[in-house]
Amino acid sequence: MKVSIDAIDYYLPPKTEDGSILKEDNPDWCIEDIEKKTGIQVRHISAPDQTATDMAVLAAEKLFSTGVQRQEIDFLVLVTQSPDYALPSSACMLQDRLDLSKSCVAFDINLGCSGFVYGLFVGGSIIEAGLAQKGLVICSDTYAKYIGKSDRTCRPLFSDGASAVLLSSCIHNDLGPFEMGTDGSGFCDLIVPSSGARVSWAESKEGHLFMDGAKVFMFTMDMVPKCVTALLDKSGKTIGDIDMFFFHQASKFVIDNIIRQLELPKEKVYVNYQRVGNTVSASIPIALKDAVSEGRLKNGDQIMLIGFGVGYSWGASFVQWGVRP
């Protein structure tokens, strides 16, 4: 069996924050300089009582409303680093809330900005092994809940959102190959330190996201170009063979430097971070959906997806595009 992306949709919380709100909370910030560097004009913020699972339900229901049949779903992969609970798995609750079959396999993947590519890797492998016909890869995170109001490194970047993607078996070779990697020595550079079993309950405090921006940027500039080049070499393709590149929407500064280092034509690199922000694992599928809606991504296009970040973790894959709008 081969694998295709058959449908895609997403949900963004209606509440938004722009530079004026950041300025109200932090009068000493130069918002113009921050926005010039990040390129991000608007970020979406989940409601105080809204979880990643809540947003995942809304994204998936939009998918089902287009005609996708929930009784045909054989597996559910939820990519999140904002679980409702330490246990049970959020995917189990999501299976029930979506009224999927009890024979549906459901599990979480705890990955961030590389998570969608890993979700494709896992979900595609399940289908290609002949173990399933159709499955959902859902990405959902509420990073904004981990970020303090005066966190100048993280608050101007991260946005909450969820995406839902339907994978199906097909006769065409639409997905792959993949190029993946991990360097766990950098785990502490992007982390919520006061969380999990590493901190005793007696000493724990409300967890806040910490990011060493300089080290994360250096990792990105080192590994992402290598990953792209390795995938091109593995497949015998060149940059000229690729119709469009979809990088994790980290920020303008990051993507501009990747473009410069790889000498990519700017018109081949899709970006939507300006109006969406950095939605972590959901950023690539949201970009794919927007590119289809704008007519920029067409059936038959050869595209490359590249995720990278927390972990450190990275992954890239080719997709022969054929999803309906």
Q: Which CATH number fits domain 2-172: 1.10.10.60, 3.40.50.720, 1.10.10.10, 3.40.47.10?
A: 3.40.47.10
Q: Kindly report the average pLDDT of the chain as a whole number.
A: 94
Q: Among residues 104, 139, 154, 278, which one is catalytic?
A: 278
Confidence (pLDDT) at 323: 60
Q: Where in the chain is CATH 3.40.47.10?
A: 2-172, 176-320
Answer yes or no: is pLDDT of 203 > 90.
no
Confidence (pLDDT) at 198: 75
Q: Per-residue pLDDT averaged across 244-269, rounded?
A: 97
Whether residue 208 lies in the annotated active site: no
Answer yes or no: is pLDDT of 165 > 60.
yes
Count of CB atoms situated within 10 Å of the CB of 236: 7
pTM of the model: 0.94
How many angstroms separate the CA atoms of 6 and 230, rounded?
27
Q: Per-residue pLDDT averaged across 143-147, rounded?
A: 94
Answer yes or no: is pLDDT of 220 > 70.
yes
Q: Helix (H, G, I), strand (E, B), or coil: what is residue 101?
A: coil
Sequence-ordered list of residues with C-beta below 8 angstroms from that of 251, at least 6 positions apart, any chain: 37, 38, 39, 40, 157, 273, 278
Confidence (pLDDT) at 325: 45
Q: Per-residue pLDDT averaged across 221-231, rounded?
A: 96
Q: Per-residue pLDDT averaged across 243-260, rounded?
A: 97
- Which among 6, 100, 90, 104 is positioned nearest to 56, based on CA atoms? 90
Contact 243, 277 (CB under 8 A): no
Q: Among residues 44, 104, 139, 248, which one is catalytic?
A: 248
Q: Per-residue pLDDT averaged across 204-209, rounded?
A: 66
**Confidence band for 207, pLDDT divided at 50, 70 and 90:** low
- Which among 259, 59, 31 is positioned nearest to 155, based on CA atoms? 31
Instruction: Report the percent of the chain where pLDDT is more than 70.
Output: 96
pLDDT single digits (tens) 16-32: 999 999 999 999 999 99
Q: Among residues 104, 113, 139, 227, which one is catalytic?
A: 113
Confidence (pLDDT) at 194: 75
Q: Please give the CATH superfamily to which domain 176-320 belongs.
A: Thiolase/Chalcone synthase (3.40.47.10)
**Confidence band for 319, pLDDT divided at 50, 70 and 90:** very high
DSSP string, 146-184: G--TT-TTTTTTB--EEEEEEEEEESS--EEEEEEEE-G
Whether residue 30 lies in the annotated active site: no
Q: Beta 134-141 vs 161-170: how paired, if at all?
A: antiparallel
pLDDT single digits (tens) 68-122: 999 999 999 999 999 999 999 999 999 999 999 999 999 999 999 999 999 999 9
pLDDT single digits (tens) 32-59: 999 999 999 999 999 999 999 999 999 9
Whether residue 278 lies in the annotated active site: yes
**Confidence band for 291, pLDDT divided at 50, 70 and 90:** very high
Answer yes or no: is pLDDT of 287 > 80.
yes
